[in-house]
Amino acid sequence: MRITKRLLSFFLVLSVSFSCIGCEPSKTNASTEKPIVLGFSQLGDESTWRSQNSLSIINAAQEAGIKIMFDDAMQNPENQIKAIRSFIAYKVDVIAFSPLVETGWDTVLGEAKAAGIPVIIVDRMIDTEDDSLYTCALCSDFDLEGRRAGEFLMKKFRNTDGPVRIVELSGTEDSTPAIGRYEGFRSVLSSDPKFEVIFSASGDFMRSKGRELMQQILTHYEAEKIDVLYSHNDDMTFGAIEVMLEAGIIPGKDIVIISVDATQRIIDYLREGSVNCVIECNPNSGPQVMEIAKRIVAGEKVAKQIYIEEQVFDEYSDLSSIADRGY
Compute the least distance from the CB of residue 43 to ligand GZL, in Å: 8
Of 15, 47, 259, 276, which one interacts with ligand GZL (CB under 6 A)?
47
50 binds ligand GZL (CB under 6 A): yes
Q: How far apart are CA 64 and CA 96, in angstroms?
A: 15
- Closer residue to ligand GZL (CB): 46 or 314: 46
Say if residue 34 is exposed, middle or buried (CB neighbours under 10 Å; 0-12, 13-18, 19+): middle
Residue 143's closest CA among 310, 255, 313, 315?
A: 310
> Ramachandran region of residue 49, left (φ > 0), alpha (ψ -120 to 50) or beta?
alpha
Among 18, 49, 157, 313, indicate the residue that binds ligand GZL (CB under 6 A): 49
**Cis peptide bond upstream of 163, omega within 30:** yes
Picking from 268, 278, 281, the residue whose alpha carbon sits closest to that of residue 314 is 278
Considering only residues 169, 228, 243, 260, which one is a binding residue for ligand GZL as defined by CB under 6 A? 260
> Which of 123, 168 has the CB closer to ligand GZL?
123
Q: Convert residues 217-256 into a mask of x (bound to ligand GZL by CB under 6 A) and - (unbound).
A: ----------------x-----------------------
Nearer to ligand GZL, 26 or 170 (CB): 170
CB of 178 to ligand GZL, least distance (A): 9
Looking at the Cβ atoms of 118 and 177, the one nearer to ligand GZL is 177
DSSP structure string for 282-325: ----HHHHHHHHHHHHTT----SEEEPP--EEETTS-GGGPPP-
Residue 195: φ, ψ to 5°: -85, 125
SS3 content of the chain, % helix, strand, coil (to 5): 40, 20, 40
Stretch that binds ligand GZL, among 26-34, 41-49, 251-259, 298-306 (CB under 6 A): 41-49
123 binds ligand GZL (CB under 6 A): yes
Q: How many CB atoms lie within 10 A of CB 212?
A: 18
Strands 119-123, 136-139: pairing is parallel
Stretch that binds ligand GZL, among 1-9, 44-52, 62-70, 310-318 (CB under 6 A): 44-52
Task: Determine the interface stretch with ligand GZL among 17-25, 47-55, 103-111, 156-164 (rule: CB under 6 A).
Answer: 47-55
DSSP single-letter state for residue 251: B
177 binds ligand GZL (CB under 6 A): yes
CB nearer to ligand GZL: pick between 44 and 252? 44
If the CB atoms of residues 276 and 282 are measured against ligand GZL, the closer one turns out to be 282
281 near ligand GZL (CB under 6 A)? yes
Q: How far apart are CA 202 and CA 174, in angstroms?
A: 10
Indicate whether 148 belongs to the interface with ligand GZL (CB under 6 A): no
**Site membership for ligand GZL, residue 150 (CB under 6 A):** no
Task: Tell which one of 205, 238, 269, 327 touches ligand GZL (CB under 6 A).
Answer: 205
User: What residues contact 182, with CB distance under 8 A and at least 6 apart?
Assistant: 146, 168, 170, 200, 232
Q: Is 243 helix (H, G, I), strand (E, B) or coil?
A: helix
Go through 152-178 and write b for each residue having 16 or more CB atoms within 10 A of its CB, e for each that does not.
bbeebbeeeeeebbbbbbbbbebbbbb
Interface residue with ligand GZL, options 3, 20, 42, 46 (CB under 6 A): 46
Question: Could you list the residues that contact ligand GZL (CB under 6 A)?
Answer: 46-47, 49-50, 123-124, 140, 177, 205, 233, 260-261, 281
